[in-house]
Amino acid sequence: MVLPDDLCHLRVYDSGYLSPIVWTTFQESVNVEDMQDRPVPFATAIFSYIVGLVTLRFLGAPFIFSGLMFAYVGNTALAAVITKYLTKVSIHTWGITGPSVAILFSFGAVPFLVLVVGLVLGTARVTLGYHTWAQVALSFLTAVPFTWLILYIVPIAVPTVFRS
């Protein structure tokens, strides 16, 4: 079964919004300031993205949708590992800069504007006191190349991952 692009796009957003909705149902705030409190939201997000990826692959979604969802799984897992063993990262910054690489795949130079939004968002996170500049920079500088690797190198190295 193949869905039109618009419906696939909705499925990506539906899956992406599941974890914050589940998390905020049980918490007072979406901001998880302590590193020790982050495993549950990370696990919820990863599960949500895996459900989205499996659904998109089952429905025969175009590469950019399933690739982006695969990138969300990988990026969230990497962010969880960095947070567990190194330092807290800015998921907000990571979440805007990583997908901009996927948008670059489809629309060319337009995503560089999204990267500027990522910089503004990162600045806001530092200003609000949720992160340091180092944490925001780590998020930005990890999300962009890791998403690029997932979207541009993985399909070449393992073409069966995204074969329709």
Query: What are the tens digits of pLDDT across the range 2-40?
Result: 445 444 444 444 445 444 444 444 555 556 566 566 788
**Lowest-confidence segment of 34-43, 79-88, 142-151 by average pLDDT:** 34-43
Instruction: Output the pTM of the full model.
Output: 0.75
**Lowest-confidence segment of 12-16, 29-33, 56-60, 73-77 by average pLDDT:** 12-16
CA pseudo-torsion sign 125, 131, 134, 135: negative
Does residue 78 register a pLDDT over 90?
yes
CA pseudo-torsion sign 145, 150, 151, 153: positive
- DSSP-H helix ranges across the chain: 5-26, 39-58, 63-85, 91-107, 111-127, 133-148, 154-157
Does residue 58 register a pLDDT over 60?
yes
Provide the 10 A C-beta neighbour count for residue 23.
16
